[in-house]
Each structure stands twice: as structure tokens, then as C-alpha cells.
Amino acid sequence: MNETSGGTFVGMPAFPEAARAAVGDATLRANLRHATHTIRDKRARAVAELDDWAELRQAGKEIKDRTLRHLDEHLVRLEEAVTAAGGTVHWAADADEANRIVTALVRATGETEVVKVKSMATQEIGLNEHLEAEGIAAYETDLAELIVQLGDDRPSHILVPAIHRNRGEIRDIFREKMGRWGRPAPEGLSDTPADLAEAARLHLREKFLRARVGISGANFMVAETGTLVVVESEGNGRMCLTLPETLISVVGVEKVVPTWRDLEVFLQTLPRSSTAERMNPYTSMWTGTSDGDGPSAFHLVLLDNGRTDALADEVGRQALRCIRCSACLNVCPVYERASGHAYGSVYPGPIGAILTPQLRGTVSEIDASLPYASSLCGACYEVCPVAIDIPEVLVHLRERVAAEGGKGHRLERAAIKASSWVLDHPTALATGERIASATRALHPKRLPGPGARQWSEHRNLPELPAEPFRDWWKKNRR
């Protein structure tokens, strides 16, 4: 599923409605709770090992901010370096243009199959679906992405896209679907992690050895040398980046860092924040092409797709610092209950709630509802390795939705206007308080009206005192 085509993410209902099914699914909630709590505890231990974590976090924030301020210059420098090293750079203003470029590049090779490294950018533009429509099969090779693809499912987590699946479900997907895409699952496949991993390894190895075109994203691009960097844990990325003859990388423009010194900061903060590792098992770096070593053709597709719009927003632009570690998802009480699918985008959780409405605008129902998919507890900000103040951006986007007259928020504006009037008129306030206290036995336990009823479904309304405070004060303190 992708971000733009019919029946997909954009057509989804608003967040509260989409989250309802997940909240009522006990198995899903148990899977999510177990997984997010395990990862968050491991992350906390890995981060606590470093005495200079706060300094690294600040350095990451400043490097990203500085780079974003001069993004145009760094991208031109990157293009020059990639070109000088034998690569070709393509610029894509939006998803359609990026898909067209990649399709044409694959077509030019004469191939009808590609292997893919896990990539958020290609999911964002719906590349797999586009290629499929053009008669090109795209095979995901990351284990979790493979589970999602075989299960005809959608990712629900940035780092662990199949976090909503347990081992039994994965075994069933492998048994049923692997044969349709290539080598079938071994007879009598069990649900032990070793057996599942072996089944995936055998299935994927055939594809690695056959593929002539690889497609990737990148975690970072170093402008000074034109080097791209992919960090991963399984080694599938290394296979896709080195075995095919042609490599096409689709990367968001905000992934550029000026120098190797800058990269060094993120190679410390990203693994600890994402997989709770001191460094990633596989850190692949490549610069253009090299004779007799790796792909002989390299294409870099630089993707905007709403990023420069986000850059123009002084508050919202901090979302572009994101290094996709997913730490904010693992600590978010809303994500833990609502699951990733409810966010209607490949970017779920707190970062999705601020990034998606900026990349796509707040026009659709789902995107306008995302800034409200938070309790503003601030746990996401605490763990973010580049110090994105997600609550600040959420409130900022809520203002934007309200200013645009978002559906459902007219009521909120009317309520705030009425409250302002009452608070500006002390006599009316005192009269209202007395009436409310005198009639308190008659008050409903739930509020009436569509929005208010839902709000009070899960909350206890406060008990009103028998007399207002100002009357009590007059009697007892004067």
C-alpha cells in the first residue's frame, strides 16, 4: 500500500476512527506492548552507557539545523561529488516524478525484477505499487518488510514494520505465501525465530543471486565526498548494494550531512536509539562506482515531495532533523495502543503525526486529525536523539488545522470563545457556578453530543462541590 493511490493511506478515516479497531484488538495490543517495552528498555540501557549522550544529542540537532539552513548549497555539493565519482543524480519534485524516473531507469536495463533494501522514502512514494503496475516486480529483502509484503499488509513501525505480528502469524504467512513469490517455506515450518529466519534466508538468497537491479534509500549522504550510507542489521542491504549491476537510491533531500565529521555523531546516536546497539552490524558506504567492485551503474534520485514546504515553516521544519530511529514510537502511549496503521502513513507514531501533515498538507481528514493523535506528554521529545520538540510542532500544527477551519474543530473554537466570554464576565461566572452546584445531582455522567460523548467515554467527569469556592470563601474566610 502507498501514500497516494486509491484505497490506500490517504483515503483512510481520521485517526480516532482508524485507531478504534486497534484499541479493541487485545492480541495486537499485547504484541505492541511487549515489543515497544522491550526495545525502549534496551535503548535506555544503551544510551546510559555514554557519558556524553546529552552533548551528542545537542551536536546532532545543531548539525541538522545548520545543514537545513544551507540545504541548497549542500545538495549541489553532493551532486558534484556523486557525479565526479561516476554516479548520476536525478532531482524529483514529488512522488510521481520519482516513480517515473526509477521506472525508466529499470526499464533501460531490460530487467523486470528488482531487489530492495528497506527504505522509507520508496514506501512514501509508493514505488513498489508503481513498479508493479509497470510490470516490474520489486522484492523486499529486509525480514520484516518481507513479512509485510508477503502478508499483503502495511508497515506499522519505522524500524520493525511487522511489529504488529507475532511468531505464529509470521509462520502462517510464510507457509501460505512464500511459494507464490519464489522458493516456498520448508515443510513443517515451526514458529521458532531460527526456523523463520532460515526460511527467509533461503527464500531471499535466490533473489539476491538473480537480481541485476537493486533499489535502496540511504540513512545519510555525505556531501563532501558524495558518499551514501546505509545502516542495517541483517546483511540483506549489503547484498542488494553490492551484487546487482545497477543500483538506484531514492533519498529524501534532508538526509544530506556536510562532512564525515558530522556523520560520526549520527553513527553513534542512531544505532543506540533504534536497535539499542553500540554500532550497527552492517554499515555500508559507497561513493559512485568502482571498476570491478559493486554495481557498475549508480543513480541517486533526490526526493523533495513536500520537504521544502516543511522547510519553509519555522516551527515545523525541525521534523526534517529526523534520522528515523523510531525511539519516539516506542515510548508513545498513544502509538502503543493505536498501532501504526491508524496514522495512515508509512510514518507512524509521534514523528508521523508531525511529518505526514507537513509532507502532504492538512487537507485530508486523516492528515488534519494527526496533530491531535497525542496526549502531549513529551516522552517523544525526551528520547529523540536530535531533540525534535514534537509536542511544540503538534500544537503548532493544531493551530494550522484550526485556522484552516478543519472539520470538527469549529466546535472547539466555539467552546473556547464561549469560555473566554464567561471568564471575562465575573458575575456571569459566579451565577453559572451556583447553578451548576445547585443542580449537581442531575448532571449526567457522560457529556452529550458527538465529540463530547467520545471524550467522556474514557474519562471521569469531575465532581462539582456542593457550593462554589467563592461562596465558601466568603462564609469561612471573611
Residues that bind ligand SF4 (CB under 6 A): 273, 322-328, 351, 383-386, 388
Measure CA of the first residue to CA of the last residue in the chain; give whole Å: 68
The 10 Å Cβ neighbour count of residue 368 is 25
How near is the Cβ of 374 to ligand SF4 at its closest, in Å?
13
Q: Indicate the DSSP class of residue 150.
A: H
Nearer Cβ to ligand SF4 (115/256): 256
How near is the Cβ of 218 to ligand SF4 at its closest, in Å?
16
How near is the Cβ of 316 to ligand SF4 at its closest, in Å?
13
Q: Are 357 and 367 in contact (CB under 8 A)?
A: yes
The alpha carbon of residue 398 and the mean position of all alpha carbons in its chain are separated, in whole angstroms, by: 19
How near is the Cβ of 367 to ligand SF4 at its closest, in Å?
18
What's the Cα-to-Cα distance from 127 to each of 4, 32, 138, 140, 307, rounded to whole Å? 10, 27, 9, 12, 18
- Please state, in angstroms and rounded to a whole number, the distance separating the CA atoms of residues 198 and 171: 12
- Please state, in angstroms and rounded to a whole number, the distance separating the CA atoms of residues 128 and 140: 9
How near is the Cβ of 332 to ligand SF4 at its closest, in Å?
9
Nearer Cβ to ligand SF4 (284/330): 330
Measured CA angle at 237 (ends 201, 162), to 5 deg: 65
Kindly report the backbone phi and psi dihedral angles of residue 248, in degrees, each rounded to the nearest multiple of 5, phi listed first. Answer: -120, 125
How near is the Cβ of 164 to ligand SF4 at its closest, in Å?
18
Nearer Cβ to ligand SF4 (213/270): 270
How near is the Cβ of 328 to ligand SF4 at its closest, in Å?
3
Nearer Cβ to ligand SF4 (327/366): 327
Nearer Cβ to ligand SF4 (99/273): 273
Helix, strand, coil percentages for the chain (3-state, nearest 5): 55, 10, 30
| DSSP structure string for 191-239 | SSHHHHHHHHHHHHHHHHHH-SEEEE--SEEETTTTEEEEEESSSHHHH
Nearer Cβ to ligand SF4 (288/352): 352
In 386-448, alpha helices (H): 390-403, 409-424, 426-438
CA within 13 Å, CB half, 59: 16
Q: Are 249 and 228 in contact (CB under 8 A)?
A: yes
Among residues 285, 386, 390, 377, the alpha carbon closest in space to that of 337 is found at 377
Nearer Cβ to ligand SF4 (314/457): 314
Q: Indicate the DSSP class of residue 52.
A: T
- Please state, in angstroms and rounded to a whole number, the distance separating the CA atoms of residues 371 and 355: 10
Measured CA angle at 163 (ends 114, 26), to 5 deg: 140
How near is the Cβ of 366 to ligand SF4 at its closest, in Å?
19
The alpha carbon of residue 315 and the mean position of all alpha carbons in its chain are separated, in whole angstroms, by: 19
Residue where the block lists cell 517515473: 100
Nearer Cβ to ligand SF4 (68/189): 68
- Please state, in angstroms and rounded to a whole number, the distance separating the CA atoms of residues 306 and 252: 10
Nearer Cβ to ligand SF4 (136/323): 323
Nearer Cβ to ligand SF4 (303/323): 323
Angle between helix 193-210 and 167-181 (nearest 10): 30
Q: Indicate the DSSP class of residue 184.
A: P
Nearer Cβ to ligand SF4 (141/269): 269
How near is the Cβ of 270 to ligand SF4 at its closest, in Å?
8
Q: Are 336 and 19 in contact (CB under 8 A)?
A: no
How near is the Cβ of 353 to ligand SF4 at its closest, in Å?
10
Among residues 308, 297, 282, the alpha carbon closest in space to that of 87 is found at 297
How near is the Cβ of 269 to ligand SF4 at its closest, in Å?
9
How near is the Cβ of 171 to ligand SF4 at its closest, in Å?
30
Nearer Cβ to ligand SF4 (347/372): 347
